[in-house]
Amino acid sequence: MLKIEDLIATAPLIMTEGAVVERLRREFKVELDPYLVHSGFIYNSSNREILRGIYKGYIDIVYKRELPILIFTPTRRANEERLVQAGFNNIDINGDCVRFLSQIRDEYGNFAKKIYIGGIMGCKNDAYKAQESLETDEAERFHRFQAEALSNAGVDFLYGATLPAYVEALGLAKAMAKTKKPYILSFVIRNDGKLLDGTSLHEAFVGIDSSVNPKPLGYMVNCIHPSVLERSLQENWNSNIIVKQRLLGIQSNTSSKSPEELDNSSSVESDDFESLIDTMVALHFEYGLKVMGGCCGTNNKHIEKMVEGFCKGKQ
């Protein structure tokens, strides 16, 4: 099995999973935990099987094409504070989620070497409200516990997702870097290619790369429509070699609405299906993005069509 850093350096295309939480809530009508969302589902037999089926559905798609895939632990909200609030403070829920995915991976025989497990972490508060983000030093302290728990459980890499603000992302990066595990950070952005706090992708990449050792393997964006990223890459402050070299990919939403419009939406929001796929394919071939997958609103159909589009474009 290649190390994750070697995979990213050499593989032309790496897929990720699609939506998990939104499918649990909308498609399977499962009640989410107010503190941990779906982290504790691994301890409930029926919910565990639903979760297992979702992950296997995504893996089975790439298995047919022999493509590598990144799958993420169901732990975005499993920080130390929320574990205490949910009454899970004496249980290694982060480690158990890693072991849950490892068991799924082991079912794939030789193909298991193409399945990479990322320990997912998120900001402390609302990912759509940058004003609630932690300052850098506080963020480093806050996220250290979970970064160490996931790292100790043997993840292939750490993944900070749906990050709205530079200051907390920097602290998260510092906490991740201390584990010595490879890590990737993924931001929420607007049409202009700026984080929700107004920091451009270029500024965020340069700031974190120059402040943290080791620096991230690279950066991604998630929880946005691919058309948002396509437009943002045309802005002057993002049209440079640093963004081109350091931006790895996108986990796309199916809706192009703003974070504020999507926040706590009562239904799944989706734009045109074919347009979504076409834009993802364009981002891969025209902008060189290589880590491609889905976020809110996506399911097996979206991931399968993305894979078809990427593979057809190579022919």
What are the tens digits of pLDDT across the range 201-214?
999 999 999 999 99
Going by C-alpha positions, the residue among 168, 161, 219, 214 that lies closest to residue 193 is: 219
Q: What is the CATH number of the domain that holds 194?
A: 3.20.20.330
Q: Count up the domains in the chain and report the number.
A: 1
Residue 183 is part of which domain span? Answer: 4-314
pLDDT at residue 97, as a whole number: 98
Q: Say if residues 38 and 51 touch (Cβ distance below 8 Å).
A: yes
pTM listed for this prediction: 0.95
Residues 6+ apart with CB under 8 A from 25: 32
pLDDT at residue 239, as a whole number: 83
- Residue 77 CA to residue 80 CA, distance in Å, equals 9
User: What one-character-per-residue DSSP string does 259-297 give?
Assistant: HHHHTT-SS-----HHHHHHHHHHHHHHH---EEEE-TT
> Length of the chain, please?
315
What are the tens digits of pLDDT across the range 5-42?
999 999 999 999 999 999 999 999 999 999 999 999 99
pLDDT at residue 315, as a whole number: 47
Residues 6+ apart with CB under 8 A from 244: 287, 288
State which residues of the chain have pLDDT below 50: 266-267, 315
3-state SS class at 80: helix
- Residue 144 CA to residue 79 CA, distance in Å, equals 9
Query: Which backbone phi and psi does 157 adopt, to 5 degrees?
Result: -165, 165
pLDDT at residue 260, as a whole number: 62
- What are the distances in angstroms from CA 142 to CA 26, 27, 73? 31, 33, 19
